[in-house]
Structure 1
Amino acid sequence: MEETLGTALRRWRDRLSPIDVGRTSRPGRRAAGLRREELAELAGLSVDYVVRLEQGRATSPSAQVVASLARALQLEPVERDYAYRLAGLLPPPEGTISTHVPAGVQRMLARLGEFPVGVFSADWTLLSWTPAWAALLGDPSGRTHVERNLVRAVFATGPTGLATWPVIQEDDTLGPALVADLRTALVNYPHDRELAGLLAELRSSSAEFTRLWDEGAVGPHVSARKTVVHPQVGEVTCDCDVLTVPGCDIRLVVYTVAAGSVDAERLEFLRVTNGVSHDGSSPPGPGLFSTP
């Protein structure tokens, strides 16, 4: 039988354990892998569209849809490229920024679901997030791909631009570190048009970005204290750390609070009121790997 995107999606869905995406595998569950409803939630798509893809009735998915499905299904890079070809698309070319999140990182995120964690690409575009991230900072699923870029949010609209409510950082180390990262990304991905467009936009719209860029600003990411002014619980002060994955040009931004602190109580309240369980799962809605 001829391989299609639909048959490949069904095969990849059947092999993926619900536990690996932060779902609980309850006794009596018939599906060994992911249900269509679960894949749709994780990919930020409608169930009907996933059904039509698998049945071959939707034949022209966009590159962003394929990328989101590949992340949700935890495909290896070669499988992701195969999915692009089955959809009649060219895989992302070399020299461009990847939006692929390795399966190992995704499994780790599924088990860290009680913590606010965001995954960013090399140009600091938010690719995925845990339910606790959405509970603390606001749900990014309603934002466009352009609006999910942290550098644009910091320099174009202020440091709270990516969050729904104000985020206050106690020092000014973030800006130079982000500029240094974009300088490195430009060397590593010289053919990425979105990156070139982002740099041109920021140089024309932000005097602060232009100053730091022209001065050759460099600076590593360091642990920072950030206070989220949340409308439900007030101020939540967190430690924010940026983690990198060897061999993969993505960043994990992790917010943590001290156990037993007032901030921990407030974060726990947000998790409970937003339906986030301690296994990191959440009720139906925009998932961990929503479409950019």
Structure 2
Amino acid sequence: MERLEFGAALRQLREATAPATLGLPIGRRRTQGLRREELGVLAGMSADYVRRLEQGRSHPSAGVVNALARALRVGRADYERLCALAGYAAADGQVPTDLGPGATRLLERFTDTPMFVSDAAMNVVAMNSAFLALGHWELTGGPWDWNIAWRTFCDPVGGFKQSTADATDHEAILVARLRSAVLRYPADTSLAALVDEMRTRSRLFDTLWRTPRPVTVYESTGVFTDPDGDSVTLAGNLLAIPGDDLAALMLTAAPGSPDAAHLAEIVSGAGEPTIIKVGRSGPG
């Protein structure tokens, strides 16, 4: 059964891969996506072996799974799925931080919605100018200035406040995401150092790490206040971007509310919509 499922997943990925994205000529094609011969050449194996894999008549080694994943340029989620179906653990590696095309499109298309994209370790990777315009995120010069979990538990952002109920939901989400990241990327020393430091610095984080709360919603509300004292209440919704192991947080106001009108004013004053990539010490 596992061989059949692996074969079906491999064929689906092959047929969904556009030849042009791999630098191959398009020409006239009878089949959708890549030909088995093309995948075989890219992965260093015969087309017949690719056929046997897709038909569930052969079991791949871990090296073969890695070669196929590299040849198809699949995202982390699809790679992990192939590994699981083949009965192997995915390569540990480092937490990916590349801003993939899916995340870029979200930031480009929702220019009037404050949004940021974070990696699996909860580091902000990029944001749009609408998020930056909120003006609430002051920098302290620390090494984890742009880590959402660190700023929540160890170095709170002064311009962001939540009710007890919303803070409880937010904290549960952050701990659950970090625990999942540690399981997937046990070789990432930066992630391990972050978690160790947080457990040392925050009694609440250490308690939740040992006894995590269940995550019931992926939404919470907060009040964002800029340096001039102007505030707006926004709800944050977390959207997974599984192919690149990223997540986007979108901030919205209740339709027709004074907060929605205020948010529109804030965004309109931000100037030309842009995407800001973020580093450890601030926007770059």
Corresponding letter in the other structure for 1:226:
G
SS at match of 1:237: strand
Partner of 2:161: 167
Deviates more, 1:191-200 or 1:233-242: 233-242
Corresponding letter in the other structure for 1:183:
R
Q: 1:108 aligns with which of 106, 109, 113?
A: 106
Corresponding letter in the other structure for 1:173:
D
CA contact (8 A) 2:136 2:160 kept: no
Instruction: Give TM-score scaled by structure 1 length.
Output: 0.58
1:140/1:98 CA distance change after superposition, 3 Å: farther
Give how far 1:273 is off.
Answer: 2.8
Corresponding letter in the other structure for 1:155:
F
Root mean square deviation of aligned Cα: 2.7
For structure 1, which runs of at least 5 residues remain unmatched after alignment? 1-75, 79-92
| Deviations 1:224-246, CA, capped at 9 Å, x for gaps | 22221334463311121000023
Corresponding letter in the other structure for 1:122:
A
Measured in 2, the distance between the counterparts of 1:203 and 1:109 equals 33
Give how far 1:130 is off.
Answer: 0.6
Partner of 1:258: 254
Measured in 2, the distance between the counterparts of 1:201 and 1:141 equals 19
Q: 1:240 aligns with which of 236, 240, 245?
A: 236
For structure 2, which runs of at least 5 residues remain unmatched after alignment? 1-71, 75-90
Give how far 1:142 is off.
Answer: 8.7
1:123/1:221 CA distance change after superposition, 3 Å: farther
1:145/1:109 CA distance change after superposition, 3 Å: farther
Partner of 2:146: 148
Measured in 2, the distance between the counterparts of 1:108 and 1:102 equals 10
CA contact (8 A) 1:179 1:218 kept: no
Partner of 2:83: none
Partner of 2:155: 157
CA contact (8 A) 1:226 1:238 kept: yes
CA contact (8 A) 1:116 1:130 kept: yes
Q: How does 1:16-35 map to 2 (within 5 A)?
A: none
Instruction: Give TM-score scaled by structure 2 length.
Output: 0.60
Measured in 2, the distance between the counterparts of 1:139 and 1:177 equals 20
Q: 1:135 aligns with which of 133, 136, 160?
A: 133
Q: Does 1:196 align with 2:192?
A: yes
CA contact (8 A) 2:117 2:126 kept: yes
| Deviations 1:3-38, CA, capped at 9 Å, x for gaps | xxxxxxxxxxxxxxxxxxxxxxxxxxxxxxxxxxxx
CA contact (8 A) 1:167 1:227 kept: yes
Which one has the largest radius of gyration? 2
